[in-house]
Structure 1
């Protein structure tokens, strides 16, 4: 029985059609819009994306695909951060600009968008989608463009320029199994279902649940689905026949709603725990809301936006004022946190005398205990390990901001260190 963690395996992204050839745009040599590397008038070394007056950042997001709601929240939160920073003089005496490109969760469109945007930015505080980030890994690493994915697959670890923020999907599922055994009465010999998307997201989550279940003496009944599968009646029927005592889901909000709603209607009223991307506050306005309230918990690296953490409360107040009518969901917190972290990196790089890309990456990787006040402290020094090992447990509450409330504060599930090896 091999328990070696799979994050050390090479990840290959295969793209249909011709490969897009990108010109290398490293921190000190390439020119972008007339901006070459060198020293500016203030003595700070610059490179692509940085002029004497401006720091340009990029976002490769989903505004028209399956994660459009998330994309909008992240974009708006990061623009709010930029506006706040600029109102106080910017960073390193420069105004921050964010150029947004919508890829609609299409990998080939994302590759083309990266080719278009990469010569003109110093970093990417947002790239949505594990498949998208996987396709761009080598280009981002070659170009030294510090990149924060809105994706948490362990396969994205191992690159200096790519930083998965918080935990990874597998660690969250280990925490989910631990939560079920501690609080929901699961015991040795029981079977738990795991419904998961094909691809890096779902497979990484399944790795975690399988490992944790084996340690706890449980069995896992896996059900792999596609992002286009929105009626999970067949999966629920199969899990019911297998006598599952709980279900894990690592998919999108539509799949979570279908799974829980169908399970409740067919008498499979068992605990369900979702990976963070599987929940959105809009679900609490659907017919599945009562079942979600009764059966669902959510695990992830971030607290609920209804949290009493002062930093979260300040962010929520500012966001509601700036974007009245827009839902305050996990994307707001995730996007704002990523932007704040990148801002800290840029300030640290400036203090060291260089805003060249490679030096921004170095400034980021030099930090071992970073706390934005929006969750748990993070360690960015080891490219092969998640920045945090602590997972929150949340549950739906239609009356709460973001429709989630905290159940358990961030904690490291038993066995995580053993799992990481």
Structure 2
């Protein structure tokens, strides 16, 4: 009962918060992020949801078991070698409505694939808040929306649920790009690299890619006088796709602003006098970097301007270290050094003065209380579900609940509202042009006392020249 009440509360909050909409017309929106249309559902919700602190079951809006079935439409199994599947389009119960895998007369099933709970960081919680809010309003197209969520080897999970769902949501699984592209399964993911974006038939990266995150963060440091034109910026990257994408972005940005990049391998100690270091790698590498540069490490920024404009950031304990959410694991980092660690994110932090972030955070607290920590990716989970909701509602309007319809709509719909949790993300930019759907990001400082461990320094913003950055 409490879960049902929370879902209704979040739906009511979102009805009055147009900036959470994923559509450009924000006069009136529902929990899917869309204006109601003639095809929108008015059917009552089935109301089924697990209690806040128990695992979801197959009757819940988020199901964390692999299972089989769940669709009245057939499709060939997803191929481990990337051979394309051919979904069978079949009429649904109502005249004129087409449906494919993952769609029955009463439900729409999506799949969530994440390698492990550490990667998830509360993403599934946010997705569940979204699906509960949608179902509290009657679902989409008179169908309950369920999200089948499984942790495990991405390729194994993909083969397990890929054939049975209308579309996918992935977190931290770039190795699935080729399979998803070959099988043409519509997929949304919160983060990614330029190489994923360049595969136009692969997952749609809704947030800023690693290259854009690095550029926006460097621009923030420059505007706050932490680094200066004519000065230097350190960068520590490994040979991962994330690291190389971030490095490519910084190599593009630095000469445009007369900033010298000093590049270091993981474990290599930055030179004395480097005021800030961008690190794109693992949490272990960031931990080692914080320890290497503490106090007796490279000279810290001591200018009054830097101290004033980075209020609450320890610019006296060593150089400012910046990274992305992939390398942020609060429990693994040295607590005494967290106040000089900046984290770039694709949505605002939960502590930001952003009405959408505030609404989702309040709903999370009402659903789970204070015992369950808010994850750093909870807002990403909600925002990704919201974008799927927008797409599904458009599909319902066209009476076509198939994968091909989802792909076509993702490639043709207008950009989201600038006030949405991902900002003005534009899936068509990736699918049609091979360019990032989003070029905005936020910066926070690590703070174990703050919700999700991040204290917001900015809302979503971008480097002034970010539009000039081209992929490919």
User: 1:49, 1:57 within 8 Å by CA — same for their partners in 2?
Assistant: yes
**Structure 2 residue aligned with 1:53:** 106
Kindly state the Cα deviation for residue 353 of structure 1 after the two structures are TM-superposed. Answer: 1.1
**Structure 2 residue aligned with 1:312:** 357
Kindly state the Cα deviation for residue 22 of structure 1 after the two structures are TM-superposed. Answer: 5.5
Pick aligned residue for 1:215 from 247, 256, 260: 256
CA distance change for structure 1 residues 168 and 22 in 2, over 3 Å: closer, same or farther? Answer: closer
**Structure 2 residue aligned with 1:357:** 403
**Structure 1 residue aligned with 2:390:** 344
Matched, 1:41 2:98: no
Pick aligned residue for 2:325 from 266, 276, 283: 276
Q: What SS does structure 2 have at the residue aligned with 1:173?
A: helix
**Structure 2 residue aligned with 1:246:** 276
Pick aligned residue for 1:122 from 162, 166, 181: 166
Instruction: Give the superposed CA RMSD.
Output: 2.3
TM-score (norm 1): 0.80
Equivalents in 1 of 2:416, 2:190: separation in Å?
18
Equivalents in 1 of 2:382, 2:231: separation in Å?
40
Equivalents in 1 of 2:265, 2:408: separation in Å?
39
Choose 331-340 or 210-219, whichever is displaced more.
Answer: 210-219
Kindly state the Cα deviation for residue 161 of structure 1 after the two structures are TM-superposed. Answer: 5.0
User: 1:123, 1:146 within 8 Å by CA — same for their partners in 2?
Assistant: yes
Kindly state the Cα deviation for residue 281 of structure 1 after the two structures are TM-superposed. Answer: 4.4
Taking the TM superposition and a 5 Å limit, the aligned residue runs for 1:286-325 are 288-293=334-339, 295-324=340-369, 325=371
Kindly state the Cα deviation for residue 336 of structure 1 after the two structures are TM-superposed. Answer: 1.1
Equivalents in 2 of 1:223, 1:351: separation in Å?
53
Equivalents in 1 of 2:424, 2:257: separation in Å?
29
CA distance change for structure 1 residues 22 and 249 in 2, over 3 Å: closer, same or farther? Answer: closer
Equivalents in 1 of 2:438, 2:104: separation in Å?
34
Whichever structure has more helix as a proportion of its residues is 1
Kindly state the Cα deviation for residue 413 of structure 1 after the two structures are TM-superposed. Answer: 0.7
User: 2:107, 2:144 within 8 Å by CA — same for their partners in 1?
Assistant: yes
Equivalents in 2 of 1:245, 1:85: separation in Å?
47
Equivalents in 1 of 2:259, 2:356: separation in Å?
39
Kindly state the Cα deviation for residue 23 of structure 1 after the two structures are TM-superposed. Answer: 5.8
Equivalents in 2 of 1:122, 1:224: separation in Å?
42
TM-score (norm 2): 0.72
- CA offsets per residue over residues 126-173 of structure 1, 9 Å max, x none? x122xx32x322332233311122432111113245210121111121
**Structure 2 residue aligned with 1:8:** none
Equivalents in 1 of 2:381, 2:141: separation in Å?
22
CA distance change for structure 1 residues 128 and 140 in 2, over 3 Å: closer, same or farther? Answer: same
**Structure 1 residue aligned with 2:209:** 168
Q: What SS does structure 1 have at the residue aligned with 2:211?
A: helix
Count of residue pairs the alignment pairs up? 368
Kindly state the Cα deviation for residue 306 of structure 1 after the two structures are TM-superposed. Answer: 0.9
Equivalents in 2 of 1:81, 1:410: separation in Å?
21
Kindly state the Cα deviation for residue 333 of structure 1 after the two structures are TM-superposed. Answer: 0.8
Matched, 1:183 2:224: yes
User: 2:84, 2:184 within 8 Å by CA — same for their partners in 1?
Assistant: no
Q: 4+ residue runs of structure 1 moved beyond 4 angstroms?
A: none
Pick aligned residue for 1:86 from 135, 140, 143: 135
**Structure 1 residue aligned with 2:85:** 25
Choose 144-153 or 341-350, whichever is displaced more.
Answer: 144-153
User: 1:22, 1:115 within 8 Å by CA — same for their partners in 2?
Assistant: no
**Structure 2 residue aligned with 1:139:** 179
Kindly state the Cα deviation for residue 118 of structure 1 after the two structures are TM-superposed. Answer: 1.1
Pick aligned residue for 1:326 from 349, 368, 372: 372
Unaligned runs of 5+ in 2: 1-78, 299-317
- CA offsets per residue over residues 290-335 of structure 1, 9 Å max, x none? 3221x22222321111123222112112212323322213210111
User: 1:91, 1:347 within 8 Å by CA — same for their partners in 2?
Assistant: yes
CA distance change for structure 1 residues 40 and 389 in 2, over 3 Å: closer, same or farther? Answer: same
User: 2:80, 2:179 within 8 Å by CA — same for their partners in 1?
Assistant: no
Q: What SS does structure 2 have at the residue aligned with 1:409?
A: coil
